[in-house]
Amino acid sequence: MLNQPANHALSASPECSTNASAAWVDVVLLIDTSSNMGSANLRKISTVLSLVMSKFTIGNRANISAGEHNTRVAVITYDREVKIVAKFTDINSLGDLSTVLNKIQMSNTKEANLLE
């Protein structure tokens, strides 16, 4: 625990939400599509991510004054090249995310370039 001066206002920073549907989060999914990953593992990633992200309110149009929150999601894949598959503004629902994830194809290259 950090030692805080007695007059330090801890309320200056809002607490993190313990409720996923009320969280303000930006999530960038970075997915390896090189042939080393394997098609079966790529499909597992899609399934698991859809399950995990179903807990969050995905979108870009929260009504802040009404206390609405949302989680923005972007998807980037990499093999020999890095590709932005979906920007934050492209995914507005769990259905959009599932569609994007299901369209990701396995590369035929074994190269995985994270430097780009």
Asked if the structure places residue 46 within a domain, the reply is yes
Asked if the structure places residue 9 within a domain, the reply is no
Full domain range(s) for residue 27? 21-103
Residue-wise pLDDT for 65-97, tens only, equals: 666 678 899 999 999 899 999 999 999 999 999
Beta bridge partners of 26: 72
**pLDDT greater than 70 at residue 23:** no
Report pLDDT for 20. Answer: 64
Residue-wise pLDDT for 38-47, tens only, equals: 889 989 998 9
Q: How many domains does the chain have?
A: 1
Helix intervals (H) in 5-109: 39-53, 94-103
pTM as predicted = 0.75
Q: Shortest CA distance to 72 belongs to which of 54, 95, 56, 51?
A: 56
**pLDDT greater than 60 at residue 64:** yes
Q: How far apart are CA 6 and CA 36, in angstroms?
A: 54
Lowest mean pLDDT among 35-44, 48-57, 106-115: 106-115
Asked if the structure places residue 26 within a domain, the reply is yes
Say which CATH number the domain at 36 has. 3.40.50.410
